[in-house]
Amino acid sequence: GGPAMLRASAKNYKWTAVIVNPENYSKVIEQIKETGGIEESFRAKLAGEVFSHTAHYDSLIANYFNKFNEIEFPKKISISMNSEQSLRYGENPHQSAHLYGDFTKIFSQLHGKELSYNNIIDIDSAAKIISEFDDIPTVAIVKHTNPCGVGRSENLLSAYQKAFATDIVSPFGGIVAFNKEVDIEMANAIHGLFTEVLIAPSFSAEAFELLNKKKDRRLIVADLVNLKSKLNYDFRSVLGGMLIQKSDVEIVDSMKIEVVSDRQPTNEEWSALMFAWKVCKHVKSNAIVYASEDRTLGIGAGQMSRVDSSRIAVEKSKLMNLTLHNSVIASDAFFPFADGVLEAVNAGATAIIQPGGSVRDADVIKAVNDNNMAMIFTGARHFRH
C-alpha cells in the first residue's frame, strides 16, 4: 500500500528515491549494498514510474469529475491505462506493440498461443458483431475485421453452416464468434477448419477437450453480457493528435425509421432487413450486404464506389452458388444514384434498407416503386472507416 521511501547517503551527496513498484525493491537493495547508492539512470527510471503512478491517480479523479459534471469532451484529456501484456509485434513483424487497458477483463484466453496485435483487433470486431444478436443462436465469421458470413438458426451448428456458406474461402485463418455455448456437436463441425480464434460465452467440457487438441488455436471466453457497457468511446490516433468519438451503438431509431416506398415490406422482409442492417453496421465502408432472414448471402466491403461494393457482393454470391432471389439489401449510407437500386433489382432483391438523405432520393424512390420493391430509410448511417 503506497510508495516506499528510501533515504541513504553516498560519499559526497544525499538522494531520495521513491519506489512504487515492489518488483524494484531487490534491485534497489542490491545497488545500495554494492555501491552505497543508486545509479542515476535507475533513479530516473524510478522517478518516471512515480510520476506515471500519480498521473494515473490524478486522471481517474479528473475523469470522475468530468463525468459528474457531464463534460463529454474536456479541454484537456488524460488517458491512463494499466499495462496488460507485451505483444510479439504489431500489424507487421517490424512494428513493436503492447496491450493496455481492461481487455482481459472482457476476454479470457483458455487455450492457444499468445494473441497477436491483429488477433486482438479481429476479436474486438467479431465480439461487437455477435453482441448485436443476443436471442437466437448466431455465428459470425470475421476476416481482417470484416464479417465474411453471419448466420442464425435454432442451434449453433445450423447457424455456423449458414454463415460459412456465404464465403467458404475466407474463413480459413479467420475468427469465428458464437453468441451461445459451443457444444461438442459444434466443436466437431469446426475442428477440421483452420481458424485463428474461436470466441464464445462458454465451451462445454467435451467441446473444450476436443478443440484444445490444436495447440495454435486460441479459445476465448467473452463476457458478451457486459460487453456493451464498455462501448462508450472510440479512439484513433492521427498525426499530431487523437480523434475521439462516441461509440456507434445505435441500430435504428424508431422516431427516424420510415417506409418510403409505395409497397410496405412483408413480415419476412422486415425481419431480413433488420438482420442485414445489423451486419452492415460492422462492414467497412462502402458496405453492401445481401441477406435473407437468417443468413448473409453476399457482402461487399471497403470499396471506393458503392456500386462496386454491390457488384462484389453479387459476384461472391454467385461464386458460392447462392441465389439472391427474394433477398434484401442493406447499405451503410445512402444510394447517391438510382443505379444502386437497379443493381439490386437485377440481383433479385425485393427490399432495401438504407439511411436516405441523398439529393436524388426522389430518383431512388422512383426506381424502387417502378420495380415493385420496398424500401426503408433509417435516417442514420453506419460508416465504418
| DSSP bridge pairs for 241 | 238
Helices 306-319 and 339-347 pack at an angle, to 10 degrees, of 10
Distance of alpha carbon 184 from alpha carbon 142, whole angstroms: 22
Distance of alpha carbon 14 from alpha carbon 6, whole angstroms: 11
Tell me the three cell numbers of residue 192.
477440421
Distance of alpha carbon 88 from alpha carbon 71, whole angstroms: 38
DSSP run (H or E) holding 291: strand 288-291
Q: What are phi and psi of 327, to 5 degrees?
A: -85, 175
The active-site residue out of 45, 144, 214, 228 is: 144
Q: Dihedral angle at the C-alpha atoms of 355, 360, 366, 369, nearest 10 degrees? A: -10
**Residue 366 CA, distance from chain mean position:** 36
Cell 459528474 locates to 68
Distance of alpha carbon 3 from alpha carbon 18, whole angstroms: 6
Write the DSSP string, 104-126.
HHHEEEEESSPPPHHHHHHHHHH
Question: How are beta strands 138-143 and 233-238 bridged, if at all?
Answer: unpaired
Tell me the three cell numbers of residue 363.
430518383
> Apex CA 47: angle with CA 44 and CA 48, to 5°?
90
Exposure string over 81-100, b if 16+ CB within 10 A, otherwise e: eeeeeebeeeeeeeeeeeee
Quick check: is 11 catalytic? yes
Q: 328 by DSSP, 3-state: which?
A: strand
Which residues are identified as catalytic? Answer: 11, 144
